A and B are shown apart, each in its own frame.
Chain A
Amino acid sequence: MSYLVADQLRGGYGGADILNGCSLSVDKGEIAVIVGPNGAGKSTAMKALLGMLNLREGTVTLGGKDITQMSPQDRVGEGIAFVPQTHNVFGGMTVEENLEMGAFLRTDDFAGTMEQVYDLFPILKQKRRQNAGELSGGQRQQVAVGRAMMTQPSVLMLDEPTAGVSPIVMDELFDRILEVKQQGIAVLMVEQNAAQALNIADKGYVLVTGTNKHTGSGDELLADPVVRRTFLGG
């Protein structure tokens, strides 16, 4: 049994169901990637794990504990951190203040965690007095991931972390995400850059119309001719 498990999720935003029995799981120290065509319900699946969606059916468990009915804020308290695709930093606040806000729920001294984040993203230490809104797209993503890391999460969820950044920055970000995984954190991400993401993934899920179409390790999916032809472009 994996650390975070979503089983047979069904539900949507009120109208028709977007998720039609989709199941996901990720363990600590593992990267799981959700890929699939536009409108497949990738981001919606992630929102369901975070509690931002009304589920009709299905359960979400974290470390064996049923969290299906918990509010997003309570799940944050349970150790799930989420990096949204857009609007994921406090633009009018400095990099350091962004990180402090990430640690808002913590009552202990978080200076050590902040040092870890600065070790992970050295550029942020240089720019810590600058407003996050003035940074480049790639740096802003680093702030967003750093803010999420400040809660010392057990699960880190990323919604298209490399959307709109250059290929070099994307490689760099993926390297950092691998480092996050080595800290024993479960990483779950939705990615448009499917091939690159599956390269670093331990587990991949191909979603189509809200259901699992293909599941396997990153390498298996990359080697699967059907997946290659239909989702990875040859």
Chain B
Amino acid sequence: MPEFVDILNAIVLFSNFVLVPAISYGAQLALGALGITLVYGILRFSNFAHGDLMAFGTMTVILVTWGFQSIGISFGPLPTALLALPFGIMGAIALSLMFDKTVYKFYRAKKSAPVIFVIVSTGVMFMTNAIVRFIIGPSDQRFMDGTKFIFRPREFKEFTGLSEGLALKSTQVLTLTVTIMCVAALFYFLQKTRTGKAMRAFSDNKDLALLSGINPDRVVSYHLDSCCRPSHHRWHFVWLR
């Protein structure tokens, strides 16, 4: 019969190596999934370039973070990358709008079949990928600063008196917080705002949405804004490694 404290130790061990990292990793995946679901759900467009758009946003964030670090801007205990986030979002929006104007608009005007869009997005994927590889390359990049741990295993052991330690990284908490905030904001946007409702209406019944005066070009651009939003989460991937 194991002691009660053994069970607690087991739970802590499990949390340290499985539960906490898994929640954090799951939240990262959820953010990417959120974006691509939104694109497919509203526009019925399987965007193969989504992942690389995320990478592009990440790259922008890293570059701006390095810039901030070099001129001595920091965000106290929080990572400087958080300050660079808006620039990453703007970068990703700019890239999407550029591809929309130069590539997708042509096929939209031609009313191409969905499968054509899928192939086209594969081309956009290769291009975006090449841009990112050319500028920053595929290797790990270090841009971490601020407080790394909220508590370390040793601190946890001393605090609880258990023999197993539990670490909680600030990145893990941030990832989860950002995910919850994004999901909440997205839910609010789609359920409560006029534009969000128009996007749902467009995916629900395209012809009737047109008859109600909902302009698909604007849906696309709003859509691009929102699909760029998850772009900044890629840096968590790089960051945690």
Q: Which residues of A contact B (CB under 8 A)?
A: 72-73, 76-77, 82, 84, 87-93, 97, 100-102, 104-105, 147, 151
Cross-interface CB contact of A72 among B201, B211, B214, cutoff 8 Å: B211
Q: Give every chain B residue within 8 A of A104 (Cβ-Cβ).
A: 194, 198, 201, 212-214
State the B residues within 8 Å of A (CB): 194, 197-198, 200-201, 204-205, 207-215
Given the interface pairs A92-B200, A93-B200, A93-B201, the reply to whether A101 lies near B209 with Cβ below 8 Å is yes
A-chain residues with CB within 8 Å of residue B211 when the two chains form the complex: 72-73, 76, 82, 84
The 7 residue pairs across chains A and B that have the minimum distance between CB atoms:
A105-B213, A90-B204, A101-B201, A92-B204, A104-B212, A101-B212, A76-B213
How far, in angstroms, from A160 to B208 measured CA to CA in the complex?
16
In whole angstroms, what is the CA distance A92 to B198 when docked?
12
Distance from B137 Cβ to chain A, minimum over Cβ atoms (Å) = 44
Contact A105 B201 (CB under 8 A): no
Q: Which residue of B lies closest to A147 (CB)?
A: B212
CA distance A171 to B200 in the complex (A): 33
15 additional A-B residue pairs with CB within 8 Å, beyond A73-B211, A84-B207, A87-B207: A72-B210, A72-B211, A73-B210, A76-B213, A84-B208, A87-B208, A89-B205, A90-B200, A97-B200, A101-B201, A101-B209, A102-B212, A104-B201, A104-B213, A147-B212
In the bound assembly, the distance between CA atoms of A93 and B201 in angstroms comes to 7
With A73-B215, A101-B214, A147-B212 in contact, do A93 and B197 touch (Cβ < 8 Å)? yes
A90 touches B213 (CB 8 A): no
- B88 → A minimal CB distance (Å): 32
Q: Is the CB of B213 within 8 A of A89?
A: no
Q: Which residues of A contact B209 (CB under 8 A)?
A: 90, 101
For B209, give the chain A residue with the smallest CB separation. Answer: A101
- Give the docked Cα–Cα distance between A87 and B201 (Å): 12
Residues of B within 8 A of A77 (CB): 213
Nearest A residue to B210 by beta-carbon distance? A73
Instruction: Provide 24 A-B residue pairs closer than 8 Å at the C-beta atoms, listed in order of the A residue.
Output: A72-B210, A72-B211, A73-B211, A73-B213, A73-B215, A84-B208, A87-B208, A89-B205, A89-B208, A90-B200, A90-B209, A93-B200, A100-B197, A101-B198, A101-B209, A101-B212, A102-B212, A104-B198, A104-B201, A104-B212, A104-B213, A104-B214, A147-B208, A151-B213
Contact between B212 and A87, CB atoms less than 8 A apart = no
Instruction: Judge whether A76 and B212 touch: CB under 8 Å.
Output: yes
Residue of A87, A97, A102 near B205 (CB, 8 A) is A87
CB-nearest residue of chain A relative to B206? Answer: A87
In the complex the two chains form, is A90's CB within 8 Å of B198's CB? no
**Contact status A90-B210, CB under 8 Å:** no
Name the residue of chain A whose CB is nearest to the CB of B216.
A73
Interface core residue of B197, B208, B215 (most chain A CB under 10 Å): B208
Whether A93 and B204, one on each chain, are in contact in the complex, defined by CB atoms closer than 8 angstroms, is: yes
A53 to B209, CA, bound (A): 18
Which residues on A sit within 8 Å (CB–CB) of B198? 101, 104
Assembled-state Cα–Cα distance A72/B215 (Å): 12
Closest Cβ–Cβ distance, residue A160 to chain B (whole Å)? 16
Task: Give the residue of A73, A91, A102, A105 whose beta carbon is less than 8 angstroms from that of B204.
Answer: A91
Closest Cβ neighbor of B213 among chain A residues: A105
Q: Indicate if the CB atoms of B213 and A91 lie closer than 8 Å.
A: no
